[in-house]
């Protein structure tokens, strides 16, 4: 299923915020049609990696290449074909859509940026809405008139509008309730199988990505501490930090993991939210 | 309820404009035709409901005709300032640090002068007339609007929807016009509305000083100047243009204030909560209190 060529490649990428390193020497690869998860707690640098991959930020060191091009240097008009193949689904349902634009206008904006003529836009918006499981009539709604799950579906529709080869999702499910979360993941899985789109999926929740991602990278304090096949990481986490993340995913997960019996807590920051959190979340069934 | 309130606001804002447009139909006499025998007739005189001026010209007719240049000088600079200020504010808000500093510090220089003095200084450099009044007031009002637009743009600068729009390959003009402007427009327009009353008073002040519309064209500020010598002999006559200036500026201030409180412009009603827009408009305009709408009522 995976083509051998890397679609997106980060090579020893680093980024600091006013002297404080946020991302330190991260390398990763996403191949066509592959879903790669990047997990870590808040502040681990995963959102920064997502923005570096998208070209929204320039790395201080290392190199980012999407289809062999540096995404931060793509020009709006001349490189829009390449630009359209690398898309983004942001984290917050309320923040990911412009409050002053109707849902259809948000998708239409992306179509317009890619030179789709006005006459064809309305039809394409309708198609895209159906594709993400939304009634086309919702295109006339404003963001405040839509639910969180609907908003994220619009954000997915906007990302799909330009025919992407890779979609970077920055915790697209974290603000949703478990049921809506699961349905959005099902949608992304279905779209990947149907269109062969690759995903770089950023999340703090290992359980949320376990069913979705082929490979997983665990990020801590800006460094990749563990990576590999998602199933392997899920079943036999090697790094104590990964074990703690898994333990935080839910009590049933912790039970499955005998080695996660309290040791990880000794190695965590006292304010690490994941160590103490025991609230159940949606695990794989 | 909302619709009614908005309708009332729009009707109120358009009323003076309608009177100005309909001046030829409403004015009982030729505003420029004077009869020296009828000089300085008090309000209520037969045939001259508001009296006559020192050249025997019908005051009601002149006040109606004067609404044209006076309102032009009040409304046009605000429109110019809203447009130019919004674009400058967005440029400063989205641009790099150098652009931001260059624009904001330039605007600060204009801020350093009291609004009236700056308007007088600019107008006195130009040929007196409606055009120079509009230009002078546009320059005076623009920095305040730009500040509001800048604050609003900074607020949304890192919004995820702007990142997504950038990733979709939008050009910068498309980003500004189709993503940023719709979001900040409600706040900028609300603030601009509150400047109309001020602009009308400033414009009247300029023509009172002889820097605005040239006689014999009727204009409220110029008429006040013409009737000034009569202030002790015919105080009610001299008060007429002053009362019109007061009434119109209070009207626009009230409308602007209502809109600021309700935060209700069409896009705002669509965009976010009203209370938010209102408090943002007030908060955003606060540090730039220099062209203070309250001055207009003083």
Is residue A96 within 8 Å of B158, Cβ to Cβ? no
Give the mutation candidate from A98, A115, A165 for the B interface (greatest B CB count, under 10 A): A98
pLDDT at A4: 55
**CA distance to partner chain B, nearest, from residue A285 (Å):** 32
Put simply, the answer to whether B167 touches A87 (Cβ < 8 Å) is: yes
CA B112, CA A139: separation in Å to the nearest integer?
A: 48
Section B12-32 average pLDDT? 86
Residue A245 Cα distances to A223, A241, A263, B48, B286, angstroms: 15, 6, 12, 88, 47
Cβ neighbourhood burial of B143 (10 Å; 0-12, 13-18, 19+): buried
Give the mutation candidate from B156, B167, B170, B181 for the A interface (greatest A CB count, under 10 A): B167
Query: A95 at the B interface (CB within 8 A)?
Result: yes
Nearest CA in chain A to B265: A100
Given a cut of 90, whether residue B137 has pLDDT beyond it is yes
Given a cut of 90, whether residue B7 has pLDDT beyond it is no
Query: A232 at the B interface (CB within 8 A)?
Result: no
Give the mutation candidate from B86, B153, B168 for the A interface (greatest A CB count, under 10 A): B168
Weakest mean pLDDT among B18-27, B33-42, B231-240, B271-280: B271-280
Put simply, the answer to whether B170 touches A76 (Cβ < 8 Å) is: yes
Compute the radius of gyration of chain A from its Cα atoms.
19
Facing B179 at nearest CB: one of A79, A95, A98: A98
Is residue B153 within 8 Å of B50, Cβ to Cβ? no
pLDDT at A268: 40
Q: Which two tokens stand for residue A44?
A: 């681990």
pLDDT at B143: 94
The string of DSSP letters for A211-224 reads: TT-SEEEEEETTEE
* Chain B positions in Cβ-Cβ contact with residue A80 (cut-off 8 Å): 169
What does residue A253 show for φ and ψ, rounded to 5 degrees? -70, -45
pLDDT at B190: 83
Residues of chain A with pLDDT under 50: 1-3, 251-285
Query: A206 at the B interface (CB within 8 A)?
Result: no
pLDDT at A6: 86
Residue B157, H or E segment: none
Facing B164 at nearest CB: one of A88, A99, A144: A88
User: CA B54, B56, B59, B60: dihedral to nearest 10 degrees?
Assistant: 180
**CA distance to partner chain B, nearest, from residue A76 (Å):** 5
What three-state secondary structure class fits B31?
coil
Identify the bridge partners of residue A63 per DSSP, sorted by sequence position. A11
Nearest CA in chain A to B158: A95
CA A170, CA A47: separation in Å to the nearest integer?
A: 6
**Has the ipTM of the complex gone over 0.85?**
no
User: Quick one: pLDDT band at residue B2, thresholds 50, 70, 90?
Assistant: low
Write the pLDDT tens digit of every residue in B177-200. Answer: 999 999 999 889 888 888 888 898
Section B61-86 average pLDDT? 93
Share the mean pLDDT of chain B. 82
Given a cut of 50, whether residue B201 has pLDDT beyond it is yes
CA B23, CA B297: separation in Å to the nearest integer?
A: 26
Residues of chain A with CATH 3.40.50.300: 6-85+164-277
Q: Which residues of B touch A (CB under 8 A)?
A: 159-172, 174, 178-179, 182-183, 185-186, 267, 270-272
Task: Determine the straight-line distance between the first and last CA of chain B, rounded to whole angstroms.
Answer: 32
Write the pLDDT tens digit of every residue in B239-288. Answer: 999 999 999 988 888 887 776 665 444 444 444 444 445 455 555 444 44
pLDDT at A161: 92
Pairing of strands A6-17, A61-66: antiparallel
* Chain A positions in Cβ-Cβ contact with residue B165 (cut-off 8 Å): 98, 109-110, 113
Section B82-98 average pLDDT? 93
* Chain B positions in Cβ-Cβ contact with residue A106 (cut-off 8 Å): 161
Put simply, the answer to whether B182 touches A100 (Cβ < 8 Å) is: yes
CA B264, CA B194: separation in Å to the nearest integer?
A: 13
pLDDT at A168: 95
CA A3, CA A278: separation in Å to the nearest integer?
A: 39
pLDDT at B84: 96
Is residue B138 within 8 Å of B80, Cβ to Cβ? yes
Write the pLDDT tens digit of every residue in B41-69. Answer: 778 778 888 888 888 888 899 999 999 99
Given a cut of 80, whether residue B112 has pLDDT beyond it is yes
Query: A119 at the B interface (CB within 8 A)?
Result: no
Q: Which two tokens stand for residue A56?
A: 């929204």
pLDDT at A64: 94
Is residue B268 within 8 Å of B188, Cβ to Cβ? no
Topology of the domain comprising A6-85+164-277? Rossmann fold (3.40.50)
Q: With a threshold of 0.80, does the pTM exceed it?
A: no
The string of DSSP letters for chain A reads: ---SSEEEEEEEEEEEETTEEEEEEEEEEEETT-EEEEE--TTSSHHHHHHHHHTSS--SEEEEEETTB-GGG--TTTTHHHHHTEEEE-S-HHHHS-TTS-HHHHHHHHHHHTT--HHHHHHHHHHHHHHTT--GGGGGS-GGGS-HHHHHHHHHHHHHTT--SEEEEESTTTTS-HHHHHHHHHHHHHHHHHH--EEEEEES-HHHHHTT-SEEEEEETTEEEEEEEHHHHHHS--SHHHHHHHHHT-HHHHHH-GGGSSHHHHHS-TT-HHHH---------
How many residue pairs from chains A and B have C-beta atoms closer than 8 A? 91
Put simply, the answer to whether B168 touches A162 (Cβ < 8 Å) is: yes
Residue B126, H or E segment: none
CA A271, CA A280: separation in Å to the nearest integer?
A: 19
């Amino acid at each position: 299923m995976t083509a051998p060529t890397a679609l997106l490649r980060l090579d020893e990428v680093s980024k600091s915020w006013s002297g404080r390193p946020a991302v330190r020497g991260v390398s990763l690869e996403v191949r066509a049609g592959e879903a790669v998860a990047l997990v870590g707690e808040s502040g681990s640098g995963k959102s920064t990696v997502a923005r570096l991959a998208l070209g929204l930020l320039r790395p201080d060191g290392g190199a980012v290449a999407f289809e062999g091009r540096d995404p931060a240097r793509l020009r709006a008009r001349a490189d829009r074909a390449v630009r359209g193949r690398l898309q983004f689904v942001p984290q917050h349902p309320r923040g990911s859509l412009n409050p002053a634009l109707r849902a259809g206008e948000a998708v239409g904006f992306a179509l317009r940026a890619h030179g789709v003529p006005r006459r064809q836009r309305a039809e394409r918006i309708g198609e895209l809405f159906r594709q993400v499981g939304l009634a086309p009539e919702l295109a006339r709604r404003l963001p405040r008139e839509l639910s969180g799950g609907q908003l994220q579906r619009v954000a997915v529709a906007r990302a799909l509008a330009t025919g992407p080869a890779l979609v970077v999702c920055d915790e697209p499910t974290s603000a949703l309730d478990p049921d809506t979360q699961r349905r959005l993941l099902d949608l992304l899985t279905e779209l990947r199988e149907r269109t062969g789109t690759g995903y770089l999926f950023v999340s703090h929740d290992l359980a949320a990505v376990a069913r979705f991602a082929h490979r997983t990278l665990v990020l801590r304090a800006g460094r990749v501490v563990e990576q590999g096949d998602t199933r392997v990481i899920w079943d036999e986490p090697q790094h104590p930090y990964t074990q703690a993340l898994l333990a935080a995913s839910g009590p049933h997960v912790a039970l499955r993991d005998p080695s996660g019996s309290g040791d990880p807590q000794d190695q965590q920051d006292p304010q690490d939210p994941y160590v103490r959190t025991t609230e159940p979340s949606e695990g794989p069934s | 309820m909302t619709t009614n309130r908005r309708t009332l606001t729009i009707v109120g804002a358009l009323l003076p404009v309608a009177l100005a447009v309909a001046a030829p139909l409403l004015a009982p006499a030729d505003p420029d035709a004077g009869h020296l025998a009828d000089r300085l007739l008090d309000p209520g005189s037969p045939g001259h409901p508001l009296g006559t001026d020192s050249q025997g010209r019908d005051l009601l007719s002149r006040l109606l005709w004067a609404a044209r240049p006076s309102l032009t000088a009040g409304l046009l600079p605000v429109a110019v300032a809203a447009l130019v200020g919004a674009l400058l504010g967005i440029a400063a808000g989205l641009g790099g640090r150098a652009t931001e500093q260059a624009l904001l510090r330039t605007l600060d220089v204009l801020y350093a002068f009291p609004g009236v003095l700056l308007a007088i200084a600019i107008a006195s450099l130009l040929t007196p007339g409606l055009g120079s009044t509009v230009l002078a007031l546009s320059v005076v009002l623009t920095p305040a609007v730009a500040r509001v637009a800048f604050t609003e743009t900074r607020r949304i600068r890192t919004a995820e929807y702007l990142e997504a729009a950038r990733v979709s390959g939008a050009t910068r003009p498309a980003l500004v016009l189709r993503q940023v402007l719709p979001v900040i427009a409600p706040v900028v327009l609300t603030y601009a509305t509150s400047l109309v009353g001020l602009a009308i008073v400033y414009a009247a002040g300029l023509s009172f000083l002889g820097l605005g519309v040239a006689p014999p064209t009727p204009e409220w500020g110029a008429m006040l100047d013409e009737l000034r010598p009569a202030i002790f002999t015919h105080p009610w006559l001299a008060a007429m243009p002053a009362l019109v200036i007061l009434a119109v500026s209070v009207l626009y201030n009230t409308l602007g204030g209502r809109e600021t409180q309700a935060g209700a412009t069409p896009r705002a009603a669509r965009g976010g909560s009203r209370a938010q827009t209102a408090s943002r408009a007030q908060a955003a305009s606060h540090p730039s209190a220099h062209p203070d709408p309250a001055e207009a009522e003083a």
